[in-house]
Amino acid sequence: MAIGPRIQFAKRGQDRGLSVLGARLAKRRIEIGLLYSRSGTYTLIAEACRTGALSAIAEINADPDCDVTFIPVERDPGGNIDHYGPLCEEILSQTSARHIIGCVTSWSRKEVIPVLERSGGTLWYTVPYEGFEASDHVVYTHACPNQHLIPLLDWALSRHGRRVYLTGSNYIWGWEMNRLTREIVSGAGGEILGERYLPIGGLEIGRIVDEIEATRPDFVMNSLIGASQYQFIAALRDLGLSDERFAPENCPVLSCNLTECELPALGAAGEGLVAAGPYFRGSTSWPGGGSFGSSHEAATAAAVHALARLLAGRPGAEYESLSSLLASPTAGACNIDPKTHHSTLPVLIARVQSGQFRIIEECGLVAGDPYLTRDRSQATAPEGRTLRVVK
């Protein structure tokens, strides 16, 4: 896929092989950071993102029509939250990289934002998150709540009922997703029957399952991550096998962050899960097309390609501020709102059937609205001031 205007390096009539060689020699080498944990509780998501980044880098580097060659500079925090800030600073201070693709949890993202602000760097964040943030130093290429949680709850409340149980990992993703769910369910005249949290990686799910069995909700909104989520879903699957009231068709588990990359960890327990996202394997509505293993790969590849579009044909642009880059003539093709730095994305709802996500509802393209300031039917960003990070 070409990402910029074709650049001519050879005179007419010259051998095509010399032309290609000239194009390759003229490519600018630009370092970019990759900051993903290759071990820890959410490593499956991190590896999917990393795969998307490296695949896109390889495509860009092989494209003779693009004058950019990306050189990945990798750092691995090892799932330790205390390592994200220092490793981000190391990339920005010890290499020429100004752009970093990375972070999985919102906790880690918020750890690196102060470093980016001090050093003038940019983070390309490529996983779903809880919204209520827009930073001068972050681009968000995956979904926020008006692109995942709200459509998913609309679907569930109209089909399964209004008695809801909430779970979550004990950090900002779980807190904020459940806060929004409480507001939406209460506004629809529903009832929250229980709300429980586990530490990231915690496996003590017995009390949660007991409460679900006792309260008998219409569905469960699950905002656990990693190993906690796998353990919980397996236990709820066992409950459904012993009592059909909790079978997936009667009491589904809903998620805004489950993708194909985690289905192998769930096995048969994943059957019947319902998830919202901008891409599921085989869907055809992803902007620019392409085939990816999951939305994590798709959103990360999109981030790398967007960065290449912004830098192509503009020597030195890698050192410009994010606001300057998004004001450039090529920014319009990047699908990123220059005010909020969020993407316009497809909204899809899918159910796991026979080990694969099958799309059950398509809601069209929806612009990211991190502060939920617009009517949900609007797909374009409103005029107004630039939104900044809320810490």
What would the two tokens of residue 315 be?
């020597």
Q: Do residues 195 and 178 touch, judged by C-beta distance below 8 A?
A: yes
Over the chain (391 residues), the average pLDDT of each successive run of 10 is: 32 37 69 96 96 98 96 97 98 98 97 97 98 96 98 97 98 97 97 97 96 98 96 97 97 97 97 98 93 98 97 95 92 89 97 97 97 68 37 37
The model scores a pTM over 0.85:
yes
For residue 333, what pLDDT is reported? 79
| Encoded tokens for 9 | 């390096």
Of the options 3.40.50.1820, 3.40.50.2300, 3.90.400.10, 3.40.50.2020, the CATH number for the domain spanning 16-142+285-344: 3.40.50.2300
- Give the pairing of strands 344-353 and 356-367: antiparallel
Yes or no: say if 229 and 202 are a contact pair by the CB < 8 Å rule: no
Mark residue 328 as left, alpha or beta (left: phi above 0; alpha: psi -120 to 50; beta: remaining). beta
In 3D space, the residue among 177, 229, 239 whose CA is nearest the CA of residue 209 turns out to be 239
* pLDDT on residue 241: 97
C-alpha dist (Å) from residue 105 to 37, 42, 47, 51, 112: 10, 9, 13, 17, 11
**Degrees (nearest 5) of the Cα angle 287, 55, 315?**
80
Hey, what CATH topology would domain 146-281+346-367 get?
Rossmann fold (3.40.50)
- Distance from chain centroid for Cα 200: 18
The domain limits of the chain are: 16-142+285-344, 146-281+346-367
